[in-house]
Amino acid sequence: MIRLTIPDTGDAEIEAVTRVLRDGFLVQGARVREFEERVAAYLGVPHAVAVSSGTAALHLAVLALGLGPGDEVLVPDFTHPATGNVVELAGARPVLVDVDLETFNSGAGHFRAALTPRTRALLPVHLFGQPAEMGPILELARERGLKVVEDAACALGAEEQGRKCGTLSDAGCFSFHPRKVITTGEGGMVVTRDEATAERVRQLRNHGCVEAGDSRRFERAGFNYRLTELQGALGVAQMERLEPAIRRRAELADRYDKALAGVKDVRRPVRRDGTRPVWQSYVVLLQERIDRDRVRLRLREDGIETTLGTYSLSAQPRHSPPAAPLANSRRAFRQSLALPLHPRMSDRDVDQVAARLAAAVS
């Protein structure tokens, strides 16, 4: 089986976790702080706060920015359900917007079309590690006095016009799930340039606790969204692999581009000029006449693991029908296909996947 993804771990990670187990301090200590420092230094931001998942990162960022009942937050419709869920969990209302079919991201035009007097924030997603076009999005936010939270769950190391994704807004949120470029099993991070926002996130991840020396006081209702020392140790080790992993993923994506160039029923992802994707996933779009799920079954029979790109939130039973049709998102939900991509793949694996996909769609 050519796997969709395989976490890139080895002796360094095993040794790091073993040291934690021998030390006997298991929750949010020195290793977590070191991981936060490594990520902050890499991104060039003053504050990075580790939490238990990418979803927790988004939830705390939304709460820390004061979003809640009566507020509307604009969210891409084509994304993981967590992006919309956290807005609802904060008591606000997610307003779903369409995406383009080249990068699968929402742009400023999509957000502008959905603005209402109750809009308080924009929540762009750097989907599959492809940078969203943040310049116009941030300009729109400044024009309307809106907060911006970046869902950079898939995009650690991605760049938009030379700037790191996740660092361009009021708060950026990352995930370290096993399908991401680096992993701590589960885990997430909120990054920000604002000290007050960072402090609110720190309090909220630990039951609303404020620590001063040996004393503690609980100033607000919070959560247990802490990261373990085992995960922190994994994160520190994984940061050494980040740039090599990004380079290898780019090589594999380039090879896919070449191998699929002549397959007319498969649209390859588009890289915008001035961006550096990190290729968390290589997601293609099949023509409408192709049954995506039959293609997936055929590929699985050929020993190749694939999955859908991600979900259309408005197509899920829990969401009300959108006010305007979200045609691109619905098409992406029906016809997108994520192909295997991870640093342990060989060039030959890519060629085999591309050849089998071409045969399946024909």
pLDDT of residue 322: 76
| Cα angle value 214/61/36 (rounded, 5°) | 55
What residues contact residue 318 under an 8 Å CB cut-off, 6+ apart? none
Percent of the chain with pLDDT strictly greater than 70: 100
pLDDT of residue 325: 84
Mean local confidence (pLDDT), 167-195: 98
Q: In angstroms, rounded to a whole number, what is the distance separating the alpha carbons of residues 267 and 260?
A: 9
State pLDDT tens for residues 287-304. Answer: 999 999 999 999 999 999
Tell me, letter by letter, the H, E, C secondary structure of 261-310.
CCCCCEECCCCCCCEECCCCCEEEEECCCCCHHHHHHHHHHCCECCECCC
Domain ranges (residues) in the chain: 11-239, 242-361
Q: Please, what is the average pLDDT of the chain? A: 97
Q: What is the pTM of this model?
A: 0.97
Q: How confident is the model at residue 227 (pLDDT cuts 50, 70, 90)?
A: very high
State pLDDT tens for residues 239-267. Answer: 999 999 999 999 999 999 999 999 999 99
Mean local confidence (pLDDT), 327-342: 98
The answer on pLDDT for 320 being more than 80 is no
pLDDT of residue 214: 79
Mean local confidence (pLDDT), 60-77: 98
Provide CATH code, domain 242-361. Answer: 3.90.1150.10
State pLDDT tens for residues 30-44. Answer: 999 999 999 999 999
pLDDT of residue 238: 98
State pLDDT tens for residues 348-362. Answer: 999 999 999 999 999
pLDDT of residue 70: 97
State pLDDT tens for residues 122-155. Answer: 999 999 999 999 999 999 999 999 999 999 999 9
The answer on pLDDT for 228 being more than 80 is yes
For residues 186 and 52, the answer to whether their CB atoms sit within 8 Å is yes
- Given 147, 164, 180, 258, which residue is catalytic? 180
Yes or no: domain 11-239 corresponds to CATH 3.40.640.10? yes
pLDDT of residue 264: 93
Percent of the chain with pLDDT strictly greater than 90: 95
Mean local confidence (pLDDT), 107-117: 97
User: Is 258 tagged catalytic?
Assistant: no
pLDDT of residue 211: 83
What residues contact residue 53 under an 8 Å CB cut-off, 6+ apart? 175, 177, 186, 187, 188, 225
